[in-house]
Structure 1
Amino acid sequence: MTRGKGIAIGLVAATAIGLLIAWAVYAFERKTVDIPLPPKGEAVYNPLYALKIALVNDRQRVHSRPYLFDDKHPLQAGDTVLMLADPARLSRRESDALRAHVARGGHLVVQPPVALLDDDADVPLLEGFGVGKHAFIDDVCMQMTAKRDVPEGADPMEALQGIFERGLLCDDRFALYEDAEPTIEWGDKEGYAFARFRHGAGTIDVVATLDPARNAGLRRDYNAALVRQLLQPNWGRGTFHLVYASQMPPLWRLMAEYAWQALLALALAVAAWLWMRMQRFGPRLPAPPEARRSLLEHVQATGDHLYRYGRAHLLHAALRAHVLAKLRRKDAVAAALEGDVQAEVLAKRTGLPAADIADALRSPRPFDAKDFRYRIARLIALGRHT
């Protein structure tokens, strides 16, 4: 019975495990999940890193850098320069060098000047093309039409929706003046999103925003198609120079244009702090130091020690010397007298009884606490009325 019971329990357990495995195989499905990881390496600081990798995969020569000109990679005829920086930040020398490169057959892709600049601001790079300042538009997208592949045997209604619209460049536009003569332009009533100009043997593309070429924007297929069209003129001819941070203007220029408000406020704060901390003009003699608690406690402890060990006469003598010194400053004659004569003079001066004054000026009896307190009290009263 014991052996049969064990076999039965084993069969039940094996059956339960088999059912559990069958349920797991039936209920669970293995799937591949892509988890986006944070960027690392060059992708952290280069916003055009994805475009660089895409061009390399298309077998194009590409060089990405944070500055405009590089002696190791000079601009050649047929090269394309895509620059994220504001063209208004370039100097006259840099702008002339880029225009000369375009005239030799190069291709340049830039954004218009930002909206913070004045309408009359000088932008040497785009001078003579009639490009106005950058403008920000909220939620007004340019539309492009694309075809979506429909599998065979799909629903007829889905096949009719094979033509669909996608929104592009929803937040950026720029203006073109009446004298502008672009070879290609793309815009709506809010402004222009793209314009291509002929300059010498090359072309200059002005795009309302180059966000589609950044790492995040290039993930969308329609942004990738737009960027591919922007790079078409010199595709396969030269090197693509991706400039994600051009040379900054001098620090003094940035501070003069944008930081003068903060500098003015900081200067006022520093001046107020200096005025608060500077030494005031006052009396020639410094103010006497304020009484400190530790010093008072030390003096009190010293007096208690002298009184406890039978030296109360020293405390009385010190207070009497202080009162006589104060009297000497006010009445030197009365301070020079002694005995009952001095007591009579001081009684007339202060209005106190002569006997009390005489008792106050005499030393107390040893080990007589009541007499000590009496004479000290009379000395204090004499000092107040002196």
Structure 2
Amino acid sequence: MSTRLRWLLVMLGVLVLGVPLAILFLRTHHRVTETEHLPPQGEARYNPLYVLGQALRADGIEVHSQPRVDLTTMTLQPHDTLVLLQDTATLPPPTARALLAWVAQGGHLIVRTPPGAPADTDGNGPLLDALGVDSIDYGSGCQPFHVRDDEQHVEFCNGRRFGVEPPAGMRLERSWGEDDADSDAYGRVFARLRHGQGSVDVVADLEFMKGLGRPAVLDTPDAKPGNYVDGLHDKAHRDLTRYLLAPRYGEGRMWLVYGARPPSLWNRIFYQGWPVWVPLLLALLGWLWQRAQRMGSLLPSPAIERRSLLEHVRASGEHLLRYGKAPLLYDAVRRSFLGRLRRRAPTAAALNGEAQVHAIATLLHWPHARVQTALNAPASQDLNGLRERIRLLIQMRNLL
């Protein structure tokens, strides 16, 4: 078969199989476009006001974001705006007084009432107390917020309403919500207080300023089902945010205190570093299992030797005595004594005969005859003499 004919057959097979498969695929499949919303990354994960800050920067405004109020690092100037998402109940009294002094010089402060139910808090905090704001006796309730395309639009459903009685030196410019016939609950959801050359806006909730949406808790029977708090993605929320920022908008810097902390190192290691530490942990557990003792019932204790060392020594001595080797026992004890004598009294050890006996007797304060008896070997069959001389040598050795 020629090469040309072979290629022709291959192309024919591809057409016979490929064309029906292509037609079948086109008939049974169609293109679908889906949009996946990825979770926020970086600062957007822990800063709820990140989208607001980006929008303000795009508008040419200088923006500074802070996790907490720190007046030592925040250089607040007149005509600046401070959005305080942090719980005002956690502010110490000196910080609250410093913020009010800055407002009196021309600053604009935006705060919210403490989050949570009234029973969960001990008070409003020094800042709201200084403004004459009381939120302990009020609950939550949706406030109608008229929008052209949504006549039943509501806001502040999860925020705690409040009452306000401005102290001396402050006056109430405007407010929303109190004694509103369209609302289920009494109390205000917004109040603007004039203090010196600046102003303070107290809001029941600042969820509309956040960049991430969440379902709203609807308390009114006429509220639409499926209503969501979409943050700045909602046009009505952008209008409301622009209204709150209006008094000093474009005149100074924007300070956004989002009241949260970045993820800790341990949080990042646990949630993001698990592909590393999980295999290491499994390897460590496997190594510990390999090195651990055998599990199960306890093994029986090893058998204890029937004879002790002393029994072996005694048996060896009796064996030597039985076979007439008593002089070997005496020579071993005498060598042990002379070895210690050379270490403790080398002069006496260097002597011989009577001179050595006399030197040892003088050293030990023993009678000359007793030392001489100990150093002379007994007869091979004299067992009593053997025991006596061994006893004397051991005593002499212990006295050196």
Q: TM-score, normalised by structure 1?
A: 0.52
For 1:65 and 1:226, locate their aligned partners in 2 and report how far apart those are by CA, in whole Å.
22
Gaps of at least 5 residues in structure 2 are 178-182, 214-230, 262-298, 316-400
Q: How does 1:340-379 map to 2 (within 5 A)?
A: none
Equivalent runs, 1:256-271 vs 2, <5 Å: none
- Assess if the C-alpha contact under 8 Å between 1:82 and 1:242 holds in 2: yes
Give the structure 1 partner of residue 75 of structure 2: 74
Gaps of 5+ in 1: 149-162, 248-292, 311-386
Alpha-carbon distance in 2 for matches of 1:83, 1:196: 15
Q: Distance in 2 between matches of 1:122 and 1:73?
A: 24
CA offset at residue 240 of structure 1? 0.6
> Residue in 1 aligned with 2:66?
65
In the alignment, does 2:161 pair up with 1:174? yes
TM-fit CA distance, 1:47: 2.3
Q: Is the 8 A contact 2:142 2:184 kept in 1?
A: no
The question of whether the paired residues in 2 share the 8 Å contact of 1:174 and 1:193 is answered with yes
Q: Deviations over 1:288-334 (max 9, x none)?
A: xxxxx9889638x569xx9xxx9xxxxxxxxxxxxxxxxxxxxxxxx
**Which residue number corresponds to residue 124 of structure 1?**
126
- Is contact 1:117-1:133 (8 Å) kept? no
The match for 1:245 among 244, 255, 259 is 259
| Inter-CA distance 63–84: structure 2 relative to 1 (3 Å threshold) | same
Alignment of 1:38-187 (within 5 A): 38-69=39-70, 73-114=74-115, 115=118, 116-118=120-122, 121=123, 123-133=125-135, 137=140, 140-148=141-149, 163-177=150-164, 182-187=172-177
User: How far, CA to CA, are the matches of 2:56 and 2:134 in structure 1?
Assistant: 31
Deviation at 1:238, TM superposition (A): 1.0
Q: Deviations over 1:61-110 (max 9, x none)?
A: 11101232355651111111011222222122211111111112211111
Superposed CA offset, 1:260-312 (max 9, x none): xxxxxxxxxxxxxxxxxxxxxxxxxxxxxxxxx9889638x569xx9xxx9xx
Kept in 2: contact 1:136–1:171 (CA 8 A): no
Report the identity percentage: 34
Deviation at 1:200, TM superposition (A): 1.1
When residues 302 and 133 of structure 1 are mapped into structure 2, their CA distance, relative to the original with a 3 A threshold, is: farther
Structure 1 Cα separation of the partners of residues 240 and 307 of structure 2: 93
Cα distance, 1:234–1:28 mapped onto 2, change above 3 Å:
farther
Q: Distance in 2 between matches of 1:127 and 1:219?
A: 30
Instruction: State the SS of the aligned residue for 1:185.
Output: strand
How far apart, CA to CA, are the structure 1 residues paired with 2:72 and 2:130? 29
**3-state DSSP of counterpart to 1:76:** coil
Per-residue CA deviations over 1:205-252 (Å, capped at 9, x if unaligned) read 1111222222313254033332222212211111110012389xxxxx
- The change in CA–CA distance for 1:144 and 1:177 in structure 2 (over 3 A counts) is closer
CA distance in 1: counterparts of 2:148 and 2:26, whole angstroms: 40
2: CA distance, partners of 1:216 / 1:78 = 29
The 5 Å alignment of 1:188-203 reads 188-190=183-185, 191-203=187-199
Equivalent of 1:209 in 205, 210, 215: 205
By how many angstroms is 1:24 displaced?
5.2
Matched letter for residue 224 of structure 1: R
- The answer to whether the Cα contact below 8 Å between 1:81 and 1:109 also exists between their aligned partners in 2 is yes
- Answer yes or no: is the 8 Å Cα contact 1:82–1:243 preserved in 2: yes
Q: Secondary structure at the match of 2:176?
A: strand
Quote how far apart the aligned CAs of 1:15 are.
Answer: 6.8
Cα displacement string for residues 334-375 of structure 1 (whole angstroms, at most 9, x for unaligned residues): xxxxxxxxxxxxxxxxxxxxxxxxxxxxxxxxxxxxxxxxxx
Q: Deviations over 1:91-141 (max 9, x none)?
A: 2221111111111221111112453334xx47332335331125553xx42
8 A contact 1:81–1:243 mirrored in 2 = yes
Q: Which amino acid aligns with 1:199?
A: H
Separation in 2 of the partners of 1:100 and 1:18? 81
* Structural RMSD (CA): 4.1
Q: 1:285 maps to what in 2?
A: none
SS of equivalent to 1:146: coil
Distance in 2, Cα, partners of 1:20 & 1:166: 54
> Distance in 2 between the 1:70 and 1:27 partners?
65
The amino acid across from 1:238 in the alignment is G
**Where do residues 5-20 of structure 1 align in structure 2 (5 Å cutoff)?**
14=15, 17-18=18-19
Quote the Cα distance in structure 1 between the aligned partners of 2:232 and 2:18: 47
Q: Which amino acid aligns with 2:133?
A: V
The question of whether the paired residues in 2 share the 8 Å contact of 1:107 and 1:203 is answered with: yes
